[in-house]
Amino acid sequence: MRARGLRGPIVVVGAGPAGALTAIYLARKGCDVTVYEARPDIRRAAVPAGRSINLALATRGIVPLVDVGVIGRVDAITIPMRGRMIHAGDSSPPALQPYGTHAHEVIHSVSRRGLNAILLDAAEVTGRVDISFESSVRAVDLRAGTLAVAGPDGARTHRAVRHPLRRRRGRFGGPPGRRRRQRGHCRGQLAGPQLQGVGDTPRRRRWLPARPPRTAHLATAGVDADRSRQP
């Protein structure tokens, strides 16, 4: 990440693992960062796990954790996963399918909440990151450089994405999800070509028979009953 052009105040929407890690990198480059998170602080409140309870860390995820100096704390809460158990549709016993070709090639399971808490701590330690929890961004005006934020009391206030003294225009970073409100607000304000995903495509479980003459196949117990069921 280059520091050129990133000296103004920066707003990051979302204090999940990606948002917290982004804030750490920006703070290390000398930026003052404000993070808005709609949920309560997961370190102090019971927050539903959401999409998943655990994450799987491979090299791509481990490298930035080493870079920002938190790998020691993260390593203490990880469990190595050497492969996946394959349950065939016949009476044969389950078999382990390794993730790699060598014994040391594993991925690491880590608690999403635990990883997130470590990154939030590291972001605050920089002294340049201010995290506002229970603060939901409702609207974005890129031209004016403002955000409409609903705080814990429900009141909407406008936060200027601009340094109050130096008049420097700030930067705004938000979650990449196609359904995110911030993405929708920004799309109509940006010049140039834009890409947007197609409509909802339901995920389905499909049965893929092995190609002859192979006899091995991957299957999941009970998959036949779920062929047409959508999650």
In a domain, residue 228? The reply is no
Listed residue (2, 11, 7, 3) closest to 145, CA to CA: 11
Question: What is residue 28's predicted lDDT score, i.e. its pLDDT?
Answer: 94
In a domain, residue 62? The reply is yes
Task: State the CATH number of the domain containing residue 146.
Answer: 3.50.50.60
In a domain, residue 217? The reply is no
Question: What is residue 3's predicted lDDT score, i.e. its pLDDT?
Answer: 52
Q: Domain range for residue 114?
A: 10-190
Q: Token match 């999403």: residue? A: 112
* H or E, element range at 24: helix 17-28
Question: What is residue 221's predicted lDDT score, i.e. its pLDDT?
Answer: 37
Report the first-to-last Cα separation within the chain, whole angstroms: 38
Total number of domains in the chain: 1
Using an 8 Å Cβ cutoff, are 128 and 32 in contact?
A: yes
The parts of the chain modelled with pLDDT lower than 70 are: 1-8, 49-52, 155-208, 210-231
| CB crowding 41-70: b at 16 or more within 10 Å, else e | ebeeeeeeeeeeebbebeeebbeebeebeb
In a domain, residue 167? The reply is yes
Joined tokens for residue 198? 């197609």
> 3-class DSSP state for residue 36?
strand
In a domain, residue 43? The reply is yes
In a domain, residue 204? The reply is no
In a domain, residue 227? The reply is no
In a domain, residue 117? The reply is yes
